[in-house]
Structure 1
Amino acid sequence: MEQRLTAEERLTLKTGAFGAVFLVANADPGMLALFRESFAASGAMADTSGVVKEALTSGPLPKLPRDSALEIEAVVLPALGRSIEILCEKSPGDVATYRDVVLTAAERVAGAHRGVAPAEAAAIDRIRAALAPSA
């Protein structure tokens, strides 16, 4: 049974998803790559539906730290884990959709410019781990 998400819960899902893209993009930064990476990520997020699409396309943009990769991870990875918890509780049928959208967007960003760099692959591994169900 699907329950509506609160504005705070939608922002958590958005922080996790947008933050994952930001984390991968910053793992191997480059000004020329930024446009390609943004376009690649937006395509993955636009292809979704239901609760996940509503969360990713409504409300304010998340505020993400910009000073260091560690600060970004400290916000993004917990938001991804909390997003899975929220969806497990309120819309279990959308858990796989959210995971797929986040991972697809992250992988598209990584591959958008000169292939996947080792730092990008490592960031995706951390994202994948954060999206794993709690034991």
Structure 2
Amino acid sequence: MMQQLTDDERLTLKTGAFGAVFLVSNADPGMFAMIRESIAASDAMADASGLVKEALTTGPLPRLPRESALEVESVVLPALGRAVDILREKSPGDLAVYRDVVLAAAERVARASRGVVPAEAAVIERIRGALAEPA
């Protein structure tokens, strides 16, 4: 049975998903690239369904630190891990959807401009790791 998410839990899912996109986008910055990347990310997020879609499309946008990529990563990667825990507990059927949507958004963002550069690939691997099931 699927349980409703609290506002905090929805924000955690959103922080992980939007933050992942932000990290990949920042790995290879560029103004025009950013526009293409945000469109690519929106398309991937639109593919979400159920609880994940509701979490990603309602409520406030997450506030991410602006100082450095490391600081953003220190917020985003733990949020992804917590999102996995939340979904495993409350709506296990949505866990794969969340994981797929976040990774698809990250990969689409990386490909949106000039193809995937090594810095983007490295960030995607860290995102993949944060989304992984604990051993």
Where on the TM-score scale, by shorter chain, does this alignment land: which range? over 0.9
Aligned to 2:98: 98
After TM superposition, the structure 1 = structure 2 runs for residues 12-51 of structure 1, keeping only pairs within 5 Å, are: 12-51=12-51
Q: TM-score, normalised by structure 1?
A: 0.99
- Matching residue's letter, 1:59: G
**How big is the shift at 1:48?**
1.2
Q: How many Å separate the matches in 2 of 1:124 and 1:18? A: 13
- Matching residue's letter, 1:52: V
After TM superposition, the structure 1 = structure 2 runs for residues 1-135 of structure 1, keeping only pairs within 5 Å, are: 1-135=1-135
**How big is the shift at 1:85?**
0.1
**How big is the shift at 1:23?**
0.3
Q: How many Å separate the matches in 1 of 2:82 and 2:134? A: 10
**How big is the shift at 1:134?**
1.8
Q: How many Å separate the matches in 2 of 1:85 and 1:134? A: 10
CA RMSD of aligned residues (A): 0.5
**How big is the shift at 1:46?**
0.6
SS at match of 1:128: helix
Q: How many Å separate the matches in 2 of 1:39 and 1:128? A: 21
The count of aligned residue pairs is 135
Gaps of 5+ in 1: none
Query: Runs in 1 of length 4+ with deviation above 3 angstroms?
Result: none
Per-residue CA deviation, residues 22-58 of structure 1 (Å, 9 max, x unaligned), is: 0000001011101100000000001111000000001
- Matching residue's letter, 1:40: A
- Matching residue's letter, 1:97: V
Percent identity reads: 76
- Matching residue's letter, 1:20: A
Q: TM-score, normalised by structure 2?
A: 0.99
Gaps of 5+ in 2: none
**How big is the shift at 1:21?**
0.1
